[in-house]
Amino acid sequence: MTYDVFMAGFGGQGILLAGNLLAYAAMGEGKNVSYFPAYGVEKRGGAATCTVVISDEEVGSPVIGSPGAALILNQLSMEKYFSRVRPDGFCLVNSSLVDEPGHGRDDIQILRIPLNDIALEVGDARLVNMISLGAYAARTGAVELSSIKEALKEALPERNHRFIPMNAQAIDMGAEFARGRAAVA
């Protein structure tokens, strides 16, 4: 089975960390992975994207023209990348920041999650990425939640390991939200 996901937002939302973490989680499960980050020159606030391909077979390229899944964390990313999700795909949309009237797509599943609001409930606005990753994993089955949590030790610098419990809680909250909501076309 092959899973490909495109993640997009702005710098500071943790897009690159989420992609890296997903890649580590998949490798921990013995899967083949490619991770391809891209970001603007700005330190914070510029565009940040990444693609992750997870497969039981060899991965030929990290480039995804039409991803099977997308995590869209801000309005600009919605406007720029939403149309790229392939038919019968899945799109997680940060409804805290994204307004999507008239998107005109009934060929994909859309899961709207108020990521910023949930992150504040957990206790830190920077947890948007972990919540989205938990929701993605729960919805797609690309990796186990336990693998993501275990991979936090690899993806986070040791000085930040004290934040692992909060990140794990955010991952669980995202998964819980995704399980409790039906994606709509």
Ranges of the chain with pLDDT below 50: 185
Cα–Cα distances (Å) from 114 to 9, 19, 78, 93, in that order, read 14, 20, 15, 8
Note the pLDDT of residue 51.
Answer: 97
Domains of the chain: 2-180 (3.40.920.10)
Query: Whole-prediction pTM value?
Result: 0.93
Instruction: Please give the share of the chain, as a percent, with pLDDT higher than 90.
Output: 80
Closest CA to 51 of 76, 77, 19: 19
User: What pLDDT does residue 5 have?
Assistant: 98
DSSP of 50-109, one letter per residue?
Answer: EEEEEESS----S--SS-SEEEE-SHHHHHHHGGGSPTT-EEEEETTT---TT----SSE
Task: Write out pLDDT tens, residues 45-98.
Answer: 678 999 999 999 999 888 888 999 999 999 999 999 999 999 999 999 999 999
Q: What share of the chain in percent tops pLDDT 70?
A: 94
pLDDT recorded at residue 183: 60
Tokens of 80: 């720029």
What is the structure's pLDDT at 40? Answer: 73
pLDDT at position 103: 67
